[in-house]
Chains A and B, each alone.
Chain A
C-alpha cells in the first residue's frame, strides 16, 4: 500500500483544459472518492494516476516515487473498469490470474491465487466459465478479483458499480467498504453518485469543471459544503438553496427572499466581510431540517404551493414551489397529508441554515474559527 500525491496536475486536449490545476494528497490506506457530474474531469484524473493518460503539466507520485512519465505496468496498480473489461476469450480463472501471468508467475501458482481470491468474492464456482456466461454482478466481482489478485500499491475504481441494478449496487458497496477497511488498501474511486461517495470514502474530492472544489471527509462535506455547487450536489435530495438580499441595521442583518422569511441575525466578522462585497447571499437548508408548519410561525419559514408529496415509506419528500419560482424539498419523517397546489409552509431552526456569498462560497459560521 502506498500514498498518492498529485502536484499541480493539469490536462489539456488541444486548447481545452479538461483539468486546470489539481493538487491532491491521498494518504496510505485512505479511500478517496472523486465525485462530480459527468465531464468534470474525474475520470481523466483517475486515468492519469493509472498512466493511461499523460498529464500536460504537474507531477504524480505513488508511494513517494515520481511516476509522472512511467508506463502503467511500472506503477503497480490494480484497476476496476466501469465496463469491467474482462477478456472475452479467457476463462474467469485466466482473467483473474492475468496480472500474475504477465509477472511470470507459474500457471499452478497463479491459478491457486485466483482460486483463493475468487472464494473470497464468492465466484469460486465460476472459474471455468467465460465472461459472457456469467451475470453482470459476477462479472463485476471477477473484475474486482483481477485487481486484487496481485498486491498493488494502490487500487483505482472507475465507476465500478454503475452497471449494476440498484439492489446489487448497495450490496456491492457495503462489500467494497468492508474490503477496503479490513485490508487497509489505498483506493481512489470515481463516481457521480454522491451516496456511493458518502458511504465509501474517508475523504471526498468534489470536482467541478476540471477543478477540485472541496476535499474533506464526507460528513464535513455534508455539514459544511464549501460552495453552492457542493451543497447542491451532495445529499439526496440535496441542500435547498434560496437567493436572499441582506439589509444591515447596525449589528443586525435582515435576510429577505422570495418565499423566505427570516428573523434578523446578529452579524459576525465573516458575514461582515461578505456583505461588504455584495448584499446578495444564498440561504441553504438541508431537507431534513425543514418541518411542515401550520402557518403560526412568522419567521425562519419558506412558503409556497405544494408541488409534490412523495411517500417513501419511512419518510415523505414534500416539495414546495416558492413564490419566487424556486423549488424546495423537505424530508418529513411520518406522513404528511397535504393536497397538491394547496398553500403550505416549512419552518427551520435558527441554527440550521448555511449562508453562501454572492460568488457561491460558504460564509463560515459565527462559532467557527475563521482560519479553518
Chain B
C-alpha cells in the first residue's frame, strides 16, 4: 500500500467513525436511560440499573392500554391493506382493463400528493358524517385508505414478475381462476405481501395525526398519541418514564423486523427461482 492510499484510508476511517458515533449516541442513550431512575437528556450509566421506570409505566393503565390500541389499529389496518391490495394489484397487473393507465396514474397522484395532513379536514368531515368519530374502525379505514395505493404499487410489481405460466399451468390442470390465484399466486407472492404488510404496520404504528384527530376518549388512543402523557403540563418530558415507554413502544416493530428478516430476508424482488 503506498502512502497516498494509506492516508486516504485513515481519513476515511476517522470520518466514518465520527459519523457512526453521532448516530450511535442516541441509541446508546436509548439503551441506558430506561434503566436509570434519574435519567435526563445526558448520556449516563445507570447506577444502579433499575426496573423502577418500567414499574411506574405499567402502573399507568392508560399507557398500557394505548399499546394494545396501537396493536389493534396496526393489525386491523395491515389485514385490510394486505388483502385488498393483493386482490387489486392482481387485477391491475393481470387484466387488460380499458383505462388501466388512467387508474394507475390517479392512484399514484392520490397516494403521494393528496393524502396526509392536507386531506385531514375533509376526512374528518366524512368520518363525522358516517358517525364513526371516536371509533377504532374509523382509524383503521382512514389509515388503510391512505396506505392502499402505495401497497398496490409495491404488489403490482411483485405480481408482474411472476411468470403467467404458473397460473396457466394451474388453469389447464383443472383449477378455476380463483383456485389458481389461491394455490399458486398467493404462496409465490408471500414475500411481497410481507414487505407491504411490514411497511403498512410501521406507518400505522408511528402515525400520530389520524388517531389524534379522529379519536376523543383517552382509552382508545394509540401509543403514538399516549406517549405525550409523559410530558408535564408545561410540556417538559418526564425523561425516565418517557425512555422506558419508548422501549416498550419500539419492541413490536423490532420484533417484526427480526421475524420477517429471519423468515424471508429483505429481498426486494419477486422471490422466484427460475
Q: Which residues of A contact B (CB under 8 A)?
A: 50-52, 71-73, 75-79, 81, 83, 85-89, 98-99, 102-103, 131-132, 143, 146, 150, 156
Contacts and interface: CB of A to CB of B under 8 A. Distances in A.
Contacts of A77: 172
B142 to A, nearest CB: 35
A81 B169 contact: yes
Interface in B243-274: 272-274
B168 A102 contact: no
A339 B14 CA distance: 72
Interface residues of B, number: 20
Contacts of B174: 73, 76, 99, 102-103, 150
Contacts of A81: 165, 168-169
Contacts of B273: 88, 131-132
Nearest to B184: A87
Contact of B169 (A71, A75, A79): A79
Interface in B179-226: 179, 183-184, 187-188
B56 to A, nearest CB: 48
B169 A88 contact: no
B172 A78 contact: yes
A102 B175 contact: yes
Nearest to A81: B165
A85 B174 CA distance: 15
Contacts, number: 71
A52 B171 contact: yes
Contacts of A98: 170, 173, 175, 183
A106 to B, nearest CB: 16
Contact of B188 (A51, A78, A88, A156): A88
A71 B177 CA distance: 9
Interface string B154-178: 0000000001011011111111100
Contacts of A71: 171, 176
B163 A83 contact: yes
B63 to A, nearest CB: 42
Contacts of B173: 73, 78-79, 98-99, 102, 146, 150
Most buried by A among B163, B175, B179: B175
Contacts of A132: 273
Contacts of B170: 87, 98, 102
B162 to A, nearest CB: 10
Given A88-B272, A132-B273, 11 more contacts: A52-B171, A73-B174, A76-B174, A83-B165, A85-B166, A88-B188, A89-B187, A99-B174, A102-B173, A102-B174, A150-B173
18 contacts: A50-B172, A51-B172, A71-B176, A75-B172, A78-B172, A83-B165, A85-B169, A87-B169, A87-B188, A88-B273, A98-B170, A98-B175, A99-B173, A102-B170, A102-B173, A131-B273, A146-B169, A150-B173
